[in-house]
Amino acid sequence: MKKYKILILIGIAATALSCQKDFLDRYPQTSITPDVFFNTEEDLALYINGMLSMSNHGMYLTDQSTDNLATTAAVEMKNIMTGSPSSQTITGGWDWGRLRTINYFLENYRRADVTADVANHYAGLARYYRAIFYHNMVKRFSDVPWYSGTLNPGDEELYKAQDPRALVMDSVTADLDFALENVRESVPSGTPNKWAVAVMDAKIALYEGTYRKYHPELELQSTADAFLQRAVATAEHIMAEGGFSIHNTGNPTSDYAALFDSQDLTSNSEMILVNSYDQTENVSGNQNTGIFGNYEQSPSRDLVQTYLMADGSRLTEQTDYATFGFVKEFENRDPRLAQTLAYPGWQRAQDDAPYVQFLAKNFSGYHQLKGYINSTDQVILNSSDVPVHRYAEVLLLLAEAKAELGTLAQGDLDNTVNLLRDRVALPHLNLSWANANPDPVQAANFPNVDGSNSGVILEIRRERRVELAFENTRYDDLMRWHAGKLLEEIPDGMYFPGVGDYDMTGDGIPDIRLIPEGQTIPSERERNELGVPLVYYTIGTFGGGATVFLENGVSGGTMVTDNRERTFLEPKYYYRPIPNTQVVLNPNLKQLFDWE
């Protein structure tokens, strides 16, 4: 039965609670009262499991708001930077229904006839969920009203002003303290335990600490170190007591990929929390179409260039790196690159020959492998597990927090970043060398990083981008680092010097032919020496009739995905406005950071 019997029960719990949504929202008008519902541990578990919300396969699509991906989708950040945003046009995020569900539980769980430790376990989970809820609200709005109890129509608290960010985050910290103290280690598979709580505590602390450090508009820089110290303490506790380790079987070309295409991650030593899928147990999910190919998103060339060479040197130090073609870009690189993106010579399960990259206007030419399940078996496609929290992120956040605090030592790097590099047989990051030789490309991207540790901070940021690509971390990282200006650069794609024939599979034999816009693609296409017809594309400048847009048209350049100017206003676009309709309902709410 694997671990799925409990997951089906969780699904039933979620369905049951969704059916009782009116009960949660309308009490005391309904006949179902807390006295009837909150009686046993089973009742508490049913309610809490109904609040379970974790990453799914959609996680692999969330970098569309970042410099990791080009996208044709109408994602919020792209719309903001290319439009005229206001509180009338940005109306999402101000939703308090989940908080009411959490607070309702916290007001009533003590009615259950259970021991104190049982009650505190479920209360700890509720406060863990409340901490995550408010962390997300603070990330979006900064100052928000703190509500510790449920409200009913007419309650005066409904019309309160926002509470200061510092107060809200102090309350979040208090919730996490309680959860850390009381949530059990042993819980049903697929549900958060004490270590999942600890990971979120460390992640929230790192986010808030670095956000305060790099965002002077908050005037909270003096309080940043306390959060960074908390991140260090929690991460070190996980490392010392959690029993986790980096998944490393000695296969540097496959161990990393195994974290994202596995049918069962529950026994993987790196997994702290897993979202499990199994079509045979009616718990399924398949997003291959969205992840791979030309559907809404394609990896950026800037991401490709971030990966190091196999010898630990930087690609951007290579002569003529800016004009490397697809095959050259993948030669002698960090093995994670070819386990994250489709590489020359990669073959799909349904094909008899290596895959030839499909090029299209508005796309980069690169295709994402991470999260893609290379199979034609529908059960396998729908049954891959998703890592929600993995130990690698704990190691990265510890290294970053210590670097920001100025307490990082070589031993810390060896116990964190270098364990990730060991998995892919990449040379170790050396603290002294990194600080003596800061990467000029990274330094230009993050001009607000300074001090004696600036070089290693930049390398840790590289490591985060590479290790956690497409795992829904990049956008938050850019926001907390005050690096929104990077989003003004439109992601571009592969480089082609112009018309001609090109090898895309790495065997030295041409696979595609680029011809000028306006020239007719022949019905009888020329064949390469393998007897395979070449794939023809017309090339031209953006917006024309060509099938592939290049920077300089027939004179070549990188593939162009968009041409709309993007403007990131600082500090305004690090936040979102309160929807205007809510301000009309509650005039005590005030727009911040120049939003109107």
Task: Decide if pLDDT at 18 tops 60.
Answer: no
In whole angstroms, give the CA distance from residue 312 to residue 333: 9
| Residues facing 538 on adjacent strands | 515
DSSP H helical ranges for 158-223: 165-182, 194-214
100 — phi, psi (to 5°)? -65, -40
- Residue-wise pLDDT tens digits, 60-119: 999 999 999 999 999 999 999 999 999 999 999 999 999 999 999 999 999 999 999 999
What average pLDDT does the segment 337-353 reach?
97
pLDDT score of 266: 95
Query: What's the pLDDT band for 153 if we cut at 50, 70, 90?
Result: confident
In whole angstroms, give the CA distance from residue 575 to residue 592: 8
| Cβ neighbours for 203, distance < 8 A, ≥ 6 positions apart | 231, 393, 397
What average pLDDT does the segment 262-282 reach?
94
In whole angstroms, give the CA distance from residue 1 to residue 180: 31
- Residue-wise pLDDT tens digits, 432-457: 999 999 999 999 999 999 999 999 99
| pLDDT above 70 coverage of the chain, percent | 95
26-35, 238-247, 265-274, 399-408: the lowest-pLDDT one: 26-35
H or E element that contains 136: helix 116-141
Helices 194-214 and 391-405, axial angle in degrees (round to 10): 30
pLDDT score of 31: 39
Task: Decide if pLDDT at 16 tops 60.
Answer: no
pTM beyond 0.75: the answer is: yes
Averaged confidence pLDDT in the chain:
93
pLDDT score of 37: 86
Query: What's the pLDDT band for 20 if we cut at 50, 70, 90?
Result: very low
What is the full DSSP assignment across 57-108?
A: GGGGGGGGGSTTEEE-S--HHHHHHHS---TTT---S---HHHHHHHHHHHH
Give strand ranges (E) for 466-584.
492-496, 500-502, 512-516, 535-540, 548-549, 557-560
Q: What's the token pair of residue 531?
A: 């007897």
Give the other-Cβ count within 10 Å of 191's Cβ: 17
Asked if 315 and 305 touch (Cβ cutoff 8 Å), the reply is yes
Q: What's the token pair of residue 513?
A: 């032919």
What average pLDDT does the segment 165-188 reach?
98
pLDDT score of 283: 87
Residue 284 vs residue 489, higher pLDDT = 489
In whole angstroms, give the CA distance from residue 196 to residue 180: 9
Q: Say whether 341 sits in a helix, a strand or coil.
A: strand
Q: Say whether 22 sits in a helix, a strand or coil.
A: helix
pLDDT score of 548: 97
Task: Decide if pLDDT at 469 tops 50.
Answer: yes
478 — phi, psi (to 5°)? -65, -35
pLDDT score of 281: 86
Q: Say whether 150 sits in a helix, a strand or coil.
A: coil
Task: Decide if pLDDT at 21 tops 90.
Answer: no
pLDDT score of 34: 79
In whole angstroms, give the CA distance from residue 404 to residue 506: 42
Q: What's the token pair of residue 63?
A: 């970098």
Query: What's the pLDDT band for 287 if we cut at 50, 70, 90?
Result: confident
The bridge status of strand 548-549 relative to strand 535-540 is parallel
- Residue-wise pLDDT tens digits, 533-591: 999 999 999 999 999 999 999 999 999 999 999 999 999 999 999 999 999 999 999 99
Asked if 339 and 537 touch (Cβ cutoff 8 Å), the reply is no
pLDDT score of 30: 40
Count Cα neighbours of 148 within 13 Å in the Cβ-side half-sphere. Answer: 8
Task: Decide if pLDDT at 170 tops 70.
Answer: yes
Query: What's the pLDDT band for 15 if we cut at 50, 70, 90?
Result: very low
Residue 345 vs residue 286, higher pLDDT = 345
pLDDT score of 35: 77
Give strand ranges (E) for 343-398.
386-390
| Nearest alpha-carbon partner for 232 in 95, 367, 395 | 395
In whole angstroms, give the CA distance from residue 493 to residue 480: 26
| Residues facing 512 on adjacent strands | 502, 535
pLDDT score of 467: 98
The bridge status of strand 297-299 relative to strand 69-71 is antiparallel
Query: What's the pLDDT band for 285 if we cut at 50, 70, 90?
Result: confident
What average pLDDT does the segment 197-220 reach?
98
- Residue-wise pLDDT tens digits, 305-315: 999 999 999 99
Instruction: Name the one residue in this structure whose structure tokens are 């070549």.
Output: 556
In whole angstroms, give the CA distance from residue 283 to residue 383: 8
What average pLDDT does the segment 153-164 reach?
93
Residue 544 vs residue 25, higher pLDDT = 544
Task: Decide if pLDDT at 394 tops 80.
Answer: yes
Q: What is the dihedral of CA 47, 55, 245, 48, to 10 degrees?
A: 0
In whole angstroms, give the CA distance from residue 249 to residue 256: 10
Distance of CA 436 to the CA centre of its chain: 31
Asked if 125 and 48 touch (Cβ cutoff 8 Å), the reply is yes
Instruction: Name the one residue in this structure whose structure tokens are 């699509």.
Output: 61
Task: Decide if pLDDT at 497 tops 80.
Answer: yes
| Nearest alpha-carbon partner for 151 in 95, 104, 105, 92 | 104
Query: What's the pLDDT band for 8 if we cut at 50, 70, 90?
Result: very low
| pLDDT above 90 coverage of the chain, percent | 90
Residue 284 vs residue 329, higher pLDDT = 329
Give the other-Cβ count within 10 Å of 328's Cβ: 15
pLDDT score of 286: 87
What average pLDDT does the segment 282-303 reach?
91
The bridge status of strand 500-502 relative to strand 512-516 is antiparallel
CA angle 222, 224, 439 (to 5 degrees): 110
Tell me 298's DSSP state: E
Asked if 306 and 462 touch (Cβ cutoff 8 Å), the reply is yes
Give the other-Cβ count within 10 Å of 146's Cβ: 19
